[in-house]
C-alpha cells in the first residue's frame, strides 16, 4: 500500500477523560485507503523533549465524513502535546503503516475483539470492518475503572459489547480474561490489543479453545516504515520488524510462552 505524509487538520480534539483524548482529523483531500490494525507515525511539534515521531493506531476512519480518528492516552510529553492540540491546528502524519488484522476465512465465523486500556483503539475500526463484511462481532473491553471505558456507544454500533473493570465500576469485576463470556461462548477468531500480559492471557485462552488469534504488538519505533530495524520482535522466522510485518501477528508466529 502506498504510504503518505499528510498534514491533516484537527476537526475536533475531544477530552474523553483525565488521560484520554479523541482527535478527529480531516483533510482537504480524500483520505487514503487504510486497513484495520494499521497505524500512523505522528510528528510532535513544540515539545522540547520529544524528538522522534510517535506511533498511534488508527482508531477509526469515516470515509463519508472524510475523518480519521486517533485515540490518545497521555503518558508523556509527546502525547500531552497531542492532547493539547486545538481545532484548526494541523498534524503531520505518515500513514497507513504496518499490516492489518485478517478477516476470518469462513463467513459464519464468530469474532471476539478483546481490548484493554488504550489497546481498544484499533478494535473500533476492526469491528466496523468485520461487521461490514458480515461477521458477528463481540467486543470485550477491559479497563481499570468506569471512567477509562471510553465511547462504548461507538463500539455498540458494530457489535455486542461486554466490559470488565478492575474496580467493578462497570461490567464484571476483574480482568478481561476472567469475564464469564469466555466460559460459555466459543469464538473462531480472537483479535486483541492491549498490555502484553493481557494479550498473553488472551492468547492462552485462544490456544485452549483452538481459536485463531491475532495480537497487535507495541514496540519502540524510530522510523515506522521498515528502514531502521529498531522495532523487532522475535518470531519463528527470527527477528522481524513490528512496523512492517506487524503490528498484527498471529500468535502461532510468535515465540510467546503460552
Partner 1 sequence: MANLNINIGRLQLKNPVMTASGTFGYGTEYSDFMDLSRIGGIFVKGTTLRERQGNPYPRMAETPSGMLNAVGLQNKGVDYFINHIYPTVKDIDTNIIVNVSGSTVEDYVETAEKLNSLEKIPAIELNISCPNVKEGGMAFGTSCLSAAQVVSSVRRVYKNELIVKLSPNVTDISEIALAVEAEGADSVSLINTLLGMAINIERRKPVLSTITGGLSGPAVKPVALRMVWQVAKAVKIPVIGLGGIMNAADAIEFMLAGASAIQIGTANFIDPTVSIKVVDGINEYLDRHGFQSVTEIIGALEI
Ligand X SMILES: Cc1cc2nc3c(=O)[nH]c(=O)nc-3n(C[C@H](O)[C@H](O)[C@H](O)COP(=O)(O)OP(=O)(O)OC[C@H]3O[C@@H](n4cnc5c(N)ncnc54)[C@H](O)[C@@H]3O)c2cc1C
Ligand Y SMILES: Cc1cc2nc3c(=O)[nH]c(=O)nc-3n(C[C@H](O)[C@H](O)[C@H](O)COP(=O)(O)O)c2cc1C
Q: Identify what 181 binds: ligand X, ligand Y, its own copies, none; CB under 5 to 8 Å per kind.
A: none
Q: Which residue lies nearer to ligand Y by CB, 87 or 228? A: 228
Q: Which 144-203 residues touch ligand FES, going by CB under 6 A?
A: none
Please confirm whether the linkage preceding 123 is cis (ω < 30° from 0).
no
Q: From 182, 189, 111, select the one nearest 142 (Cα to Cα).
A: 182
Q: Which residue is nearest to ligand X (CB)?
A: 76
Q: Binding ligand Y by CB under 6 A: which of 5, 75, 87, 228? A: 228
Distance CA 172, CA 200 (A): 20
- Measured from the CB atom, the residue of 207 and 232 that comes closer to partner 1 is 232
Is residue 154 close enough to count as binding ligand X by CB under 6 A? no
Q: How far apart are CA 120 and CA 166, in angstroms?
A: 16
Instruction: For residue 171, state whether it binds ligand X (rule: CB under 6 A).
Output: no
For the segment 67-126, give every residue that binds its own copies (CB under 8 A). 81
Rule CB under 6 A: say whether 241 interacts with ligand FES: yes
Dihedral (CA of 54, 97, 22, 217) sign: negative
Of residues 176 and 223, the one with the C-beta less far from ligand FES: 223
DSSP β-bridge partners for residue 162: 140
Over the Cα atoms of the chain, what is R_g? 18
Question: What does 239 interact with, of partner 1, ligand X, ligand Y, none (CB < 5 to 8 A by kind)?
Answer: partner 1
Say if residues 222 and 198 touch (Cβ distance below 8 Å): no
> Which residues of the chain form contacts with ligand Y (CB under 6 A)?
228, 230
Amino acid at each position: 500500500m502506498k504510504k503518505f505524509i499528510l498534514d491533516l487538520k484537527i476537526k475536533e480534539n475531544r477530552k474523553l477523560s483525565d488521560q484520554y483524548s479523541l482527535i478527529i482529523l480531516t483533510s482537504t483531500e480524500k483520505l487514503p485507503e487504510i486497513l484495520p490494525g494499521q497505524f500512523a507515525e505522528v510528528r510532535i511539534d513544540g515539545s522540547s523533549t520529544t524528538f522522534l515521531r510517535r506511533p498511534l493506531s488508527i482508531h477509526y476512519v469515516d470515509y463519508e465524513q472524510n475523518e480519521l480518528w486517533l485515540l490518545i492516552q497521555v503518558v508523556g510529553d509527546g502525547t500531552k502535546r497531542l492532547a493539547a492540540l486545538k481545532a484548526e491546528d494541523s498534524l503531520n502524519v505518515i500513514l497507513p503503516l504496518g499490516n492489518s488484522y485478517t478477516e476470518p476465512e469462513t463467513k459464519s465465523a464468530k469474532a471476539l475483539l478483546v481490548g484493554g486500556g488504550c489497546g481498544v483503539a484499533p478494535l473500533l475500526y476492526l469491528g466496523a470492518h468485520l461487521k461490514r463484511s458480515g461477521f458477528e462481532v463481540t467486543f470485550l473491553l477491559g479497563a481499570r475503572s468506569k471512567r477509562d471505558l471510553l465511547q462504548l456507544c461507538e463500539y455498540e454500533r458494530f457489535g455486542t459489547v461486554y466490559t470488565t473493570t478492575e474496580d467493578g465500576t462497570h461490567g464484571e469485576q476483574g480482568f478481561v480474561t476472567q469475564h464469564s463470556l469466555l466460559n460459555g461462548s466459543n469464538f473462531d477468531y480472537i483479535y486483541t490489543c492491549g498490555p502484553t500480559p493481557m494479550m498473553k492471557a488472551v492468547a492462552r485462552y485462544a490456544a485452549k479453545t483452538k481459536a485463531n488469534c491475532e495480537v497487535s504488538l507495541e514496540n519502540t519505533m524510530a522510523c515506522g516504515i521498515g528502514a531502521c530495524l529498531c522495532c523487532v520482535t522475535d518470531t519463528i522466522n527470527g527477528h522481524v520488524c513490528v512496523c512492517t510485518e506487524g503490528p498484527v501477528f498471529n500468535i502461532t508466529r510468535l515465540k510467546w510462552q503460552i
